[in-house]
Amino acid sequence: MAKLAIDGGKPVRKKFLVFGKPCMNSAEERAAVRVLRSGWISTGRESHAFEKEFAAYVGAREGVAVSSCTAALHLALVLAGAQRGREVITTPLTFVATAEAILYTGARVVFADVDLRTGQIDPEDVARRVNRKTCAIVPVHYAGYPAPMDALMRIARRRRLTVIEDAAHAVETWSGRRKVGRIGDYTCFSFYATKNLTCAEGGMITLQDSKLAGKLRMMRLHGMSKDAWKRYGSKVSGGYDVPEMGFKYNLTDLQAAIAREQLKKVRVFWKRRQAVVRRYEKYFAGHPLVRTLSYGPGTNAYHFFPIFLNLARLNKTRDEFLAALSAENIGCGVHFTPVHLFSHYRKILRLRKGDYPNAETLGLSEISLPVYPSMTPRDVSDTISGVEKVLEMAARR
């Protein structure tokens, strides 16, 4: 039996396979150079064009470009009335930014557990936790799989709550026959370096209300009634007002130009990631030592591929498994340590291990396998071989 690389054996591949890698070429380079040579690199013509193109892509009336998905969530929560004395329900199986954005407003974070089969927030647990203080629900489309939006929207409409979708993983996701980006009251996307559409950093809020979109555009830039492009971009248009407090959350033209080129490739990139995931699904389906997620009707964005270790049948912890897989030169990730287990959230929310058992079962046994468009068939085979090698050596006899 082959020795694990971490124990001195030969790794499954010579060169390390990174977990995530942006896919860009000369088109993005030309777009960036065009903006640099234009003399205008902050929010302007490119940013406004990207807003329109992205909104059209998801089928929303409005798109508001911002500096990150966290910024998008924060702004949407402010408009939803999140503040001290109010509560917002979300999932603990998410990146910490989802909960952080709620805390920025002064509102209290209330977690609802997830469905073990899908990893998505459980609508029945959401309904149990709604009370007179609740102002919003923030579902997360975990790993690009669609959250149960029909059930969540029914709860929200019955209780007059705002739904803000965390779609950081879900640029290409459909929930049933509806595209993510036009279902909830607000949908927040991420264009971070590892995301399916990237411009290094950035985010977008899509919505159907043009009046609220105008308010978001003021809020993203200090509450000013005119941004710099309107003041200085082509014609001097006089002064401006600051009708309310805002933030510094605008997206630059340099980023937007890159994002516009990425948007043109979304479908091609999606099909390449789909091919990677299909191979993973075929191999790991019914595997005795790991399990995978199932999901409801809709289209998966294939942001990453989570597997969940059957730790009771392994002689390694999840972290030991990760270290062994990394030594085989296979990059992998963890998505996510449940937020309520972090020390800050245990302290301020008075939570403890065991409060959300399903999220803990998934989050503490999860490993994310690499999924990106430039992966070759050999990369996928090596990943599968690396995981299987570690599983074989770690299986309890």
Domains of the chain: 5-22+266-394 (3.90.1150.10), 26-264 (3.40.640.10)
Dihedral sign, CA of 298, 304, 305, 308? negative
Select from 181, 187, 148 the least CA-distant residue to 69: 187
Q: Enter the tokens of residue 209.
A: 């209300």
Residues 160-180 have a mean pLDDT of: 97
Residues 356-383 have a mean pLDDT of: 98
Who has greater pLDDT, 1 or 396? Answer: 396
pLDDT of 236 over the 90 cut? no
Residues 92-106 have a mean pLDDT of: 98
Which pLDDT does position 114 carry in this prediction?
98
pLDDT of 231 over the 60 cut? no
DSSP code of residue 181:
T
Q: What whole-number percentage of the chain has pLDDT above 90?
A: 92
Select from 113, 90, 86, 112 the least CA-distant residue to 100: 90
Residue 111, preceding peptide bond in cis (omega within 30° of 0): no
Measured distance CA(261)–CA(242) in Å, rounded: 34
Which pLDDT does position 144 carry in this prediction?
97
Residues 303-322 have a mean pLDDT of: 97
Q: What whole-number percentage of the chain has pLDDT above 70?
A: 97
Which pLDDT does position 235 carry in this prediction?
60
pLDDT of 241 over the 90 cut? no
Which pLDDT does position 201 carry in this prediction?
98
The answer to whether 226 is a known catalytic residue is no
Which pLDDT does position 229 carry in this prediction?
59
Measured distance CA(213)–CA(395) in Å, rounded: 54
Q: Enter the tokens of residue 193.
A: 């370096």
Confidence of residue 396 (pLDDT cuts 50, 70, 90): confident
Name the pTM for this structure.
0.96
Who has greater pLDDT, 104 or 242? Answer: 104
pLDDT of 237 over the 70 cut? no
Which pLDDT does position 349 carry in this prediction?
95
Average pLDDT, the chain: 95
The CB-based long-range contact list for 102-106 (8 Å cut-off, 24+ gap) reads: 102/73, 102/77, 102/138, 103/348, 104/74, 104/77, 105/74, 105/77, 105/78, 106/82
Which pLDDT does position 257 carry in this prediction?
98
Residues 133-158 have a mean pLDDT of: 98
Backbone φ and ψ for 110, nearest 5 degrees, come out as -120, 120
Cα dist. 125→167, 356, 359, 372 in Å? 21, 10, 12, 33
DSSP notation for 154-171: HHHHHHT-EEEEE-TT-T
Which pLDDT does position 234 carry in this prediction?
59
pLDDT of 239 over the 80 cut? no
Confidence of residue 233 (pLDDT cuts 50, 70, 90): low
Catalytic residue among 195, 265, 316, 389: 195
Confidence of residue 173 (pLDDT cuts 50, 70, 90): very high
Residues 54-65 have a mean pLDDT of: 98
Backbone φ and ψ for 31, nearest 5 degrees, come out as -65, -45
Which pLDDT does position 297 carry in this prediction?
80
∠ CA(313), CA(318), CA(321), 5° rounding?
Answer: 85
Q: Please report, to the nearest 10 degrees, the dihedral formed by the alpha carbons of residues 358, 359, 361, 364 taken in order.
A: -170
Residues 55-67 have a mean pLDDT of: 98
Which pLDDT does position 327 carry in this prediction?
98
Residues 33 and 242 sit within 8 Å (Cβ to Cβ): no
Do the strands 87-90 and 134-138 form a parallel or antiparallel pair, or are they unpaired? parallel
Strand partners, 140: 166
